Amino acid sequence: KFCMQNRYLTLTGPTRAVVVVDPVFFEVDLRVKGRTESEDRALSYLVVSCRDSGCRESYMFKRVETSKLSTVELTLADMAESVEATISVRVVDGEWPEGFGGLISARTASISDMEIKLLAFDKLPVAADGTIQLSRCVLSVEADGMLRVSVMAMANCLKDQTVEGDSKAFTAREASRSMRMLEVGSCKLEVTIAWSLVPAMV
């Protein structure tokens, strides 16, 4: 959904880390959904190229690109010497506070002001085995860096009124898994991160 009061769109991908091989292309294809697919209307379509900056430190930057239909601002982060973190979250005990929405997010220590939304919800979507289906589950983290995963319960998602929250930091690895527990009220969430090297491009 796209609201004019909130012009930021939440990405649900990528499902693997993006490796910069000069150049790498990002395709933006935005449509306004109609009642049927034939009634969908194009909002923006463009292709943006990015090249390796050669910088040895991670940094965040913005790009403003214009198509025939609209202007889009992209916020990107270039992660130096990174590994891939695949995140999964599972309810292991208790219940999410009744009547509360919430937010599960993550950020790296090096770019702490760039929060990545993993899932925003009005009602926590939990499978029979306790697994929570995240909207996004893969991030890049510097090989010698830290990743912080946070969960917040909110009384009113529109006003971002935080009631209670918890967060834990994970030290990056080249392989294996890391597991920590987050607690919101009586609800205990098991956060597991599977670490792997960023796939090389041939």
The predicted-structure confidence for 74-101, as pLDDT tens digits, reads as follows 777 777 788 999 999 999 999 998 888 9
- Which stretches of the chain score pLDDT less than 70? 1-22, 59, 156-163, 199-202
Question: How many independent structural domains does the chain possess?
Answer: 1
Residue 85 burial class via C-beta count within 10 angstroms: exposed 0-12, middle 13-18, buried 19 and up: buried
Structural domain boundaries, residue 156: 82-197
Cα separation, 153 vs 99, whole angstroms: 10
To 5 degrees, how large is the angle CA 143–CA 148–CA 150? 155
Phi and psi for 39 in degrees, rounded to 5? -95, 0
How confident is the model at residue 1, as a pLDDT? Answer: 39
- For residue 3, what pLDDT is reported? 38
In this structure, is residue 47 part of a structural domain?
A: no
The pLDDT assigned to 202 comes to 41
13 domain residue, yes or no: no
pLDDT score at 85: 93
22 located within any domain: no
What is the pTM for the complete model shown? 0.74
Can you give the pLDDT at residue 4? 38
Is 3 domain-assigned? no
Query: Strand, helix or coil at 32?
Result: strand
Residue 93 counted as domain residue? yes
* CATH code of 122's domain: 2.60.40.150
Does a structural domain hold residue 61?
A: no
**Residue 121 domain-assigned?**
yes
Q: Is residue 48 part of a domain?
A: no
